Amino acid sequence: MALITTENITKSFNGSQTVLRDVSLELRAGEVLALLGKSGSGKSTLLRTLAGLVEPSSGRVTYRGRAIHGANPGVGMVFQNFALLPWLTVLENVELGLRARGLPSQERRRRAVEAIDLIGLDGFENAYPKELSGGMRQRVGFARALVLEPDALLMDEPFSALDVLTAENLRGELMSLWTSARFPTKAICLVTHNIEEAVAMADRIVVLADNPGRIALELSVPLTRPRVRRAPAFTTIVDQIYAALMGQAAGAEQDTPLRRPLPPATVGGLAGLVELLGAQGGRADLHSLAAALSFEVDDLLPLVDAAALLGLAEVAGAELLITSAGEDWFDADIPTAKSVFARLATANAPLVRVIADALRTSRNGRLRDEFFLDLLRGGFPEHDALRQLATAVDWGRYGELFSFDAVARELVLEE
């Protein structure tokens, strides 16, 4: 049974930046659904659309068959940053939603105490958020959502602000509750950038492509719980998702700065990745590489995307292979390495090439950074435009193509 559905929804901000395009999916009773994708793929926007906190530009969202306009009455939300009111106690924070619904104080207290006991924080009812660890604060967030007894629990990267051990413990406890008769909700929708987290928790995974966000892959996870991360079946699904995410990067067609953005990767990070590949005989399994480095997908994939964009490496399924250009860069002395990188960047990184060409045709080899930022703002929000220009400057400096005068706010052609 479908609890929440989206029907061909598209969401644009500022009239131009399309974050989601033509997304249709269902959140069904009895399942844990994971929304997975790179940064900027619109997964959090999609979750907020399910919650009724973001209105789609086109298409519609329904809850139990009825279109929603405004907050979805059938969901509870858990956020990444806990979102607790510091001047309220644990009990008072958990009661907030019930107070908004107008429940009598005695009923609010009874249900809040039950929810606090459910998530293992009994005894801390009168504590304030500042007295709690990160894991305990997130437990309060879970209790505040579950006390409403919603049909669907929506979670936006709820474990990403926690340390590794605390996150793993809380994931395990949540899954134990999910499979018990005590869990007061019918479905869970989880946003994450962690592939292993998605496979460990979800019954179904939807992978979002980016620029704009759209469904690239949907697959079921036919594994019994609790799931063993080292099991071959688990690893097979992880590799399948890695391959889908990497396939998105390889699919860029139009070679322009707006259609082929620069991944957030420094030259130092690229050098480290290529060095690791060289040390492993020129190839590495992405899943094993991420695990060995204790990386999550958002940490590793930008480096992989950048290496593939520049032609330093290529992706084959779930494997990363060093290219001949990558070997040349890895083996070269410093001046030759800079020359190799400059050639690859101007050939394969559209923004670097556009900046270098514009500087060469300018009157004095200098142009204001605002010139390039205005071009980027035509397709990206401000923080993305700034990040991409910073990446281009890092690559251009290393390749001795151009530099940046921070006082004059100008990019300068290298002699």
Whether 276 and 237 map to the same domain: the answer is no
Distance of CA 340 to the CA centre of its chain: 32
Q: How is residue 356 written in tokens?
A: 């270098």
Whether the predicted pLDDT of 82 surpasses 80: no
SS3 of 356-392: the string is HHHHHHCCCCEEEHHHHHHHHHCCCCHHHHHHHHHHH
Residues 48 and 170 both lie in one domain: yes
In this structure, are 68 and 205 located in the same domain?
Answer: yes
Q: Which residue pairs from 9-17 have beta carbons closer than 8 angstroms and sit at least 24 positions apart in sequence?
A: 9/49, 9/56, 9/58, 9/59, 9/60, 9/61, 10/56, 10/57, 10/58, 10/59, 11/42, 11/45, 11/49, 11/54, 11/56, 11/57, 12/57, 13/381, 14/381, 16/378, 16/379, 17/379, 17/380, 17/381
Q: Is the full-model pTM beyond 0.85? A: no
DSSP 10: E
Phi, psi (deg, nearest 5) at residue 194: -100, 110
The yes-or-no verdict on residue 80 having pLDDT over 90 is no
Of residues 300 and 46, more confidence is placed in 46
In a domain, 357, yes or no: yes
Half-sphere exposure of 344 (CA within 13 A, CB side): 26
Residue 389: the pLDDT is 95
**pLDDT for res 191:** 94
Domain assignment of residue 346, given as a range: 267-413
328 occurs within a structural domain: yes
Q: What is the mean pLDDT of the chain?
A: 87
Among 138-152, 237-251, 314-328, the range with the most confident prediction by mean pLDDT is 138-152
Say yes or no: 357 and 401 in one domain: yes
Confirm if 411 and 390 have CB atoms less than 8 A apart. Answer: no
Evaluate whether 37 touches 209 at the Cβ level (below 8 Å).
yes
Instruction: List, for residues 204-221, the tens digit of each pLDDT value.
Output: 999 998 878 889 889 999
Higher pLDDT, 357 or 232: 357
Assess if residue 401 is contained within a domain: yes
Tally of structural domains, the chain? 2
The reply to whether 387 and 318 lie within a common domain is yes
Asked whether residue 73 falls in the same domain as residue 191, the answer is yes
What one-character-per-residue DSSP string does 204-225 give? EEEEEETTTBEEEEEEE---PS
250 in a domain, yes or no? no
Q: How much is the pLDDT for 167? A: 84
Give the percent of the chain with pLDDT over 90. 47
Please spell the DSSP secondary structure of 134-200, one letter per residue.
HHHHHHHHHHHHHTT--SEEEEESTTTTS-HHHHHHHHHHHHHHHTSTT---SEEEEEES-HHHHHH
Amino acid 283: pLDDT? 86
In a domain, 252, yes or no: no
Sign of CA dihedral 291, 297, 299, 301: positive
Looking at the fold, whether 294 and 336 belong to one and the same domain comes out as: yes
Q: pLDDT tens for residues 4-42?
A: 999 999 998 876 678 899 999 999 999 999 999 887 788
What CATH number is attached to the domain comprising 122?
3.40.50.300
What is the per-residue pLDDT for 317?
Answer: 73
Tell me, what's the pLDDT at 252? 42
Kindly give the residue spans of alpha helices, DSSP state H, lying in 251-381. 267-279, 286-293, 297-310, 324-331, 334-348, 350-361, 369-377
pLDDT at 282: 86
Using the structure block, give the residue that is written with the tokens 């500022």: 14
Give the pLDDT mean for 188-193.
92
Find all residues with CB under 8 Å of 267, minimum gap 6, and list them. 341, 394, 395, 398
Please write the tens of the pLDDT for every residue from 232-285.
888 888 888 887 777 654 444 446 787 788 988 999 989 988 888 888 888 888
Task: State residue 298's pLDDT score.
Answer: 62
Answer yes or no: do 191 and 275 share one domain.
no
